Amino acid sequence: MSRSAHPAGPRHADVLPEGHYAAPPADLNTLDPRVWSRTVTRAADGAAEVGGLDVRALAEEFGTPAYILDEADFRARCRAWRAAFGHDADVFYAGKAFLSRAVVKWLNEEGLNLDVCSGTELAVALDAGMPAERIALHGNNKSYAEIERAVSAGVGRIVLDSFQEIARVAAEAARQGKRQRVQIRVTVGVEAHTHEFIATAHEDQKFGLALAGGQAAEAVRRVLKLESLELAGIHSHIGSQIFDMAGFEVAARRVVSLLAEVRDEHGVELPEIDLGGGLGIAYTSDDDPREPQEIAKALGEIVTRECEAARLAVPRLSVEPGRAIVGPTAFTLYEVGTVKPLEGLRTYVSVDGGMSDNIRTALYDAEYTVALVSRTSDAEPMLSRVVGKHCESGDIVVKDAFLPADLAPGDLLAVPATGAYCRAMASNYNHALRPPVVAVADGAARVIVRRETEDDLLRLDVG
């Protein structure tokens, strides 16, 4: 591809972003395998392919915007997590990242367990055949109905989040004549290096019971007194999109010291600890996530070392990755509409979706990358902002991106790493119809979550 020292298209030193997009990438046509799902390639004619299928054919058949999910990649990631943690640990996929019946089936086949955080996620899990004993129920405000449903289904664990909930779950289990396995979610006081809204282990927030100040120890005391609860262990989740293992290390150390206190006070060694999810993925080529193998090794070593120091038997470890499994496996396919160059600033490239299918940029200032996928181009890089079609200026999908200057309406763009928290957090803002999720594998595509229709929306609107 030809490149001049002064790329064409609007470009102004004052608006040039820092970091990933401070300069155009060497080749706009390259699809960096760190960011794109595993089976994404460029075909001979330049269009991108995934799962052996041409994205132009996918757009033709399923329309845009659409989330295209690479099933082989999803399964490979499940297997990598399973293999890395081995038989002495459990991997609970965090369904909040993206849940559908097909996903539950894949998880089941690949030997993963499932974390749900609402009665309706639980309903999907059960409907799709996940055995209840492999399901964990989370949530800081579980309703009586959710507790009733989880206990009667026989979920393997309910993760308790408050004193009130201890009493509620105990009462419900007693009413049903059952002994419910539970974990207590503690906040370990770690400041995770991530966006404030997705950090969860500092004390001033709504989740869990604090280790500092003794709330967690008091929760243990209460649970151990209740006949209808079986205290299986302690749970900690420090936040999301974290790269640095240091936070997990501190969390593990503090959780193990609670286990030692519990042993000293009650003579009971709790058999499980769960260190939550939160492992980061590559949204841009600058991100450098840890591999499951490395994560498993680091966590296993910390827990073993701390337990040996406290003379505790090493408990069964579990983790709850959501984003790290599903995030990299999907991209969002959009069609380009209006292309509006702003002289001296940048070019606004509007696509046929926006904040209704990806709220993360607006909400967390998230960084994404984007590529022209219906063809390659040798045109000069053009500093662009990919925006949606919603009625607000914050409706940004990709803040800063270089796209080829010959970009035109009808071209297809794809934004990678949208498998987690995009369809899951999609909305009907401006009565947008939420896009489908299309699973591709081995040259075949199938809709696993269909596109909403006007009829769907009108059915809800009862007049």
Cβ burial 335-358 (10 Å sphere, 16+ → b, else e): bbbebebeeeebbbbbbbbbbbbb
State in angstroms the smallest separation of the CB of 347 from ligand LLP.
Answer: 27
- Cα–Cα distances in angstroms (integers) from residue 341 to residues 8, 76, 345, 346, 394, in the given order: 11, 41, 8, 6, 18
Nearer to ligand LLP, 153 or 363 (CB): 363
What is the DSSP code string of 16-45?
PPSGGGSS--S-TT---TTTS-TT-EE-TT
User: Interaction with ligand LLP in 13-72: which residues (CB under 6 A)?
Assistant: none
User: Of 117, 307, 391, 422, which residue is the catalytic one?
Assistant: 391
CA end-to-end distance (rounded Å), the chain: 57
User: Which residue numbers belong to the known binding site?
Assistant: 278, 320-323, 360, 364, 392, 421
How many residues bind to ligand LLP according to rule CB under 6 A?
A: 22
Name the segment binding ligand LLP (CB under 6 A); options: 16-24, 226-234, 274-282, 334-342: 274-282
Contact between 453 and 433 (Cβ < 8 Å): yes
- What DSSP element (H or E) covers 110? helix 101-110
| Contacting residues for 303 by C-beta, under 8 A, at least 6 apart | 252, 256, 273, 314, 315, 317
Tokens found for residue 143: 């309703």
Nearer to ligand LLP, 276 or 388 (CB): 276
Closest CA to 284 of 24, 35, 29: 35
x/- site string to ligand LLP, residues 404 to 443, per CB under 6 A?
Answer: ----------------xx----------------------
Is 360 among the residues that bind ligand LLP (CB under 6 A)? yes
Tokens found for residue 56: 């132009």
Is 237 among the residues that bind ligand LLP (CB under 6 A)? yes
DSSP at 239:
B
Is 97 among the residues that bind ligand LLP (CB under 6 A)? yes
Nearer to ligand LLP, 85 or 421 (CB): 421
Alpha-carbon distance of 448 to 102, in angstroms, equals: 6
State in angstroms the smallest separation of the CB of 422 from ligand LLP.
Answer: 8
State in angstroms the smallest separation of the CB of 463 from ligand LLP.
Answer: 33
Name the segment binding ligand LLP (CB under 6 A); options: 314-322, 343-351, 376-384, 404-412: 314-322
User: Is 422 noted as a catalytic residue in this protein?
Assistant: no
Q: Report helix, strand or coil for 330.
A: strand
Contact between 315 and 357 (Cβ < 8 Å): no
Alpha-carbon distance of 373 to 370, in angstroms, equals: 9
Is 208 among the residues that bind ligand LLP (CB under 6 A)? no
Is 138 among the residues that bind ligand LLP (CB under 6 A)? yes
Alpha-carbon distance of 31 to 9, in angstroms, equals: 22
Is 357 among the residues that bind ligand LLP (CB under 6 A)? no
Is 324 among the residues that bind ligand LLP (CB under 6 A)? yes
Nearer to ligand LLP, 37 or 240 (CB): 240
Nearer to ligand LLP, 332 or 350 (CB): 332
Nearer to ligand LLP, 288 or 343 (CB): 288
Applying CB under 6 A, among 240, 318, 350, 376 the residue interacting with ligand LLP is 240
Q: Report helix, strand or coil for 366.
A: coil
Kindly report the number of other CB atoms within 10 A of residue 38's CB atom: 16
Name the segment binding ligand LLP (CB under 6 A); options: 11-19, 321-329, 382-390, 454-462: 321-329
Nearer to ligand LLP, 207 or 348 (CB): 207
State in angstroms the smallest separation of the CB of 328 from ligand LLP.
Answer: 12
Contact between 246 and 186 (Cβ < 8 Å): no
Q: Report helix, strand or coil for 71.
A: helix
Name the segment binding ligand LLP (CB under 6 A); options: 93-101, 126-134, 212-220, 343-351: 93-101
Applying CB under 6 A, among 94, 158, 186, 229 the residue interacting with ligand LLP is 94
Tokens found for residue 318: 């579990």
Residues of this chain that bind ligand LLP (CB under 6 A): 94, 96-97, 115, 138, 198, 237, 240-241, 276-279, 320-324, 360, 364, 420-421
